[in-house]
Structure 1
């Protein structure tokens, strides 16, 4: 066996290794190129020391047969398999991206939209497998490859190599490497070594979704036996044990997906994925999701507010006119206060001119109005004076007509009588 594998090696005289994509219990996964067909591909090799090559060889062959039968967009397509220099290998379609385990190590937990996308893709693969009576039995983040395409992420399920085994498959699946791989996503019946059916895959998918949302698998332990015991007997933790403000619909989904009793779980992969979508659609995204799902608060993100909320408040109505205002006395409409200059020039003097410019001509207008009022009042006074003079003249005429001609000097005149009296005779000589 070659140890270690390096870039540039050509496997079976055909597949040139380019760079390592990941490492799992069954060996390493490489991006490669088929030098005969002239196309990219991926190669998995059982290159880790201590592997039971007989088990790995049988597993690779089973995976090739399962992939050939499934033929699904969400199941990696197997192109070839065999053995090279004592190492079993299997050749897949080209995979551009990373497995889910790598992404979780980098991001810890995912936003709800990404979780739903991954669960739906894996559910489609499982639905196809379950239709054909194939049970994966070892579903985990390392076996879900996230292929990046221009249209988005396509989850592809790897490693159907133990599909169809009996209840002891949990040990075969997790102990084929030099170190024991902990079965964090094994179902309770699988952990107890009981016979399993397709619903063991549904538990595993629910446990993976739990890990994606919270950043933790449902049960954790550093000891293989203790972990299996906890999966089999301990209560499943709630999402709210790790997250704040978990919606009740999402917690109800967790209870069904991770029920200890297979009869109480979702009974198909489609049902599980659809229920998760419904729970997330009805959920209020507060606290339990990452920033991509939660978004900014409306009061902290002006772009999410309505346009009307971003407009400045309307100006206050003009104050009622004062009785001292000349315009109000004449019944003229009130003047509107001109808006303040938005941009001021650099010079303080020019700032004053700019601010006073809207009021240019205001004093001139006031003076004209006052002159007009003064002229009008002068005309009124003149007319009044003429009327008074005419009234006085008429009164004086009437009085003169009624009074007698004055007599000689010294003659007394009685002004008390209104009727004319004859003139007195001249005095004696």
Structure 2
């Protein structure tokens, strides 16, 4: 993490952290001389040191700078300074689609499809330039207020995996590139990707916008990978029997999520045209308005009838969360407990002697390989709640060891409140 006040390349002063992912960290920074605030993405050293990465990064940054579209983020500058590989981009305001889903649950058909169409317009422009996003997910889709209505901004374009050759190399080295819940099967296998991989990811996003749930919810990340590789996508009525989604729309979503790229729409233009055709169909009178934040919506039946339903969302459950820490990691355990409390959970630092049945989830603070073995032992105990390992985001041996070793999930540090809430809520739901 870079401290506030750090100056990069003599022209960008770091102001505060905006977030961190597997490939790098993003900061709000001031562009000296212009006084402009930018989003500064700085790649993690272990990523930037990969053979050929710097050259590929620079070539990709040049291509991204040519991607001029209202729905893409403008690139201002890039470079390498004192070992830090950075990219300066337009700073956007608003909220992520992930935050919207957490607050409101499933969206009305017209709104969900309209947002997906906006993303496809950006993908069309990007794919023409040979840019494949490879990490489309609600957290990378930003909703920005606009006079004509909300506008989607696609973030992190092309930076999740810079080219098929590099992606394959990083995957072979055990690095998780992308997000398992939204990755295409070919990307999970480390195979070359094209624009149809982005269509698969967008299909996953649209599935969640329409149902309130990802295609394969409430399961460890390793099992999500298996599901995307081999399992059929659940029908909408299996996940939300209360919904009335046009069959033609569900067919478009399922086509985008076909396992084989050749079975998906041929390109972003074709998928956009299919969705626009769905929007053009009469669907009855508009839904009744809902109060902001209620997590409810008015669904339209095919015959025009209205009925109000509650939208299930991943929210903190009643069962408390136990936090286990090594003896010298008490401060980290207390910080995690406070973070859980801020997200609405009951949590405390527990001992192994406490009855497991009382807890909805168990978080183990990582302290090297010994903690991984400890967490696996706890997860194997009869009656144990789902166990999540909490550790550094850039410790890939720890991440892959947790997901392959029978644990429910991995919670990366620094903590992301939305990610923490989702994973612990899913663990509690599994326990129930």
Q: TM-score, normalised by structure 1?
A: 0.58
- Aligned to 1:127, what secondary structure does the other structure show? helix
Work out the CA distance in 2 between the residues paired with 1:123 and 1:199.
Answer: 11
Q: Does 1:88 align with 2:62?
A: no
Q: How does 1:37-116 map to 2 (within 5 A)?
A: 37-46=34-43, 51-55=46-50, 57=54, 60-116=57-113
Q: Does 1:275 align with 2:274?
A: yes
Say if 1:154 and 1:5 are closer, same or farther in 2 by CA, change over 3 A: farther
- Show CA shifts across 1:28-84 (max 9, x none): 3233322212223221123x6x74332475664354123123222222111111234
Deviation at 1:233, TM superposition (A): 0.8
Where structure 1 has 5 or more consecutive residues not aligned to the other structure, the ranges are 302-429
Q: How does 1:152-231 map to 2 (within 5 A)?
A: 152-157=149-154, 158-161=156-159, 162-166=161-165, 168-169=167-168, 172=171, 182-220=179-217, 223-231=220-228
Say if 1:182 and 1:263 are closer, same or farther in 2 by CA, change over 3 A: closer
Deviation at 1:102, TM superposition (A): 3.5
- Aligned to 2:253, what secondary structure does the other structure show? helix
- Aligned to 1:135, what secondary structure does the other structure show? coil
Work out the CA distance in 1 between the residues paired with 2:215 and 2:106.
Answer: 13
- Aligned to 1:76, what secondary structure does the other structure show? coil
- Aligned to 2:215, what secondary structure does the other structure show? coil
Q: Does 1:254 align with 2:250?
A: no
Q: How does 1:360-371 map to 2 (within 5 A)?
A: none
- Aligned to 1:146, what secondary structure does the other structure show? strand
Work out the CA distance in 1 between the residues paired with 2:273 and 2:230.
Answer: 28
Q: Are the aligned partners of 1:146 and 1:154 in contact in 2 as well (CA < 8 Å)?
A: yes
- Aligned to 2:64, what secondary structure does the other structure show? helix
- Show CA shifts across 1:115-161 (max 9, x none): 22321222112111222333222322333233333333322222313
Q: How many residues align?
A: 293
Q: Are the aligned partners of 2:78 and 2:88 in contact in 1 as well (CA < 8 Å)?
A: yes
- CA-based RMSD of the aligned residues comes to 3.7
Match of 1:33 in 2: 30
Q: TM-score, normalised by structure 2?
A: 0.58
Say if 1:140 and 1:61 are closer, same or farther in 2 by CA, change over 3 A: farther
Q: Are the aligned partners of 1:25 and 1:174 in contact in 2 as well (CA < 8 Å)?
A: no
- Show CA shifts across 1:179-226 (max 9, x none): x86421111233334433221111111111112222222124654443
- Aligned to 1:74, what secondary structure does the other structure show? coil
- Aligned to 1:52, what secondary structure does the other structure show? helix
- Aligned to 1:16, what secondary structure does the other structure show? strand
Deviation at 1:86, TM superposition (A): 3.1
- Aligned to 1:42, what secondary structure does the other structure show? strand
Say if 1:100 and 1:16 are closer, same or farther in 2 by CA, change over 3 A: farther
Q: Are the aligned partners of 2:181 and 2:221 in contact in 1 as well (CA < 8 Å)?
A: no
Say if 1:173 and 1:253 are closer, same or farther in 2 by CA, change over 3 A: farther
Q: Does 1:234 align with 2:266?
A: no
Deviation at 1:18, TM superposition (A): 3.7
Match of 1:117 in 2: 114
Structure 1: 4+ residue segments shifted above 6 A: 297-301
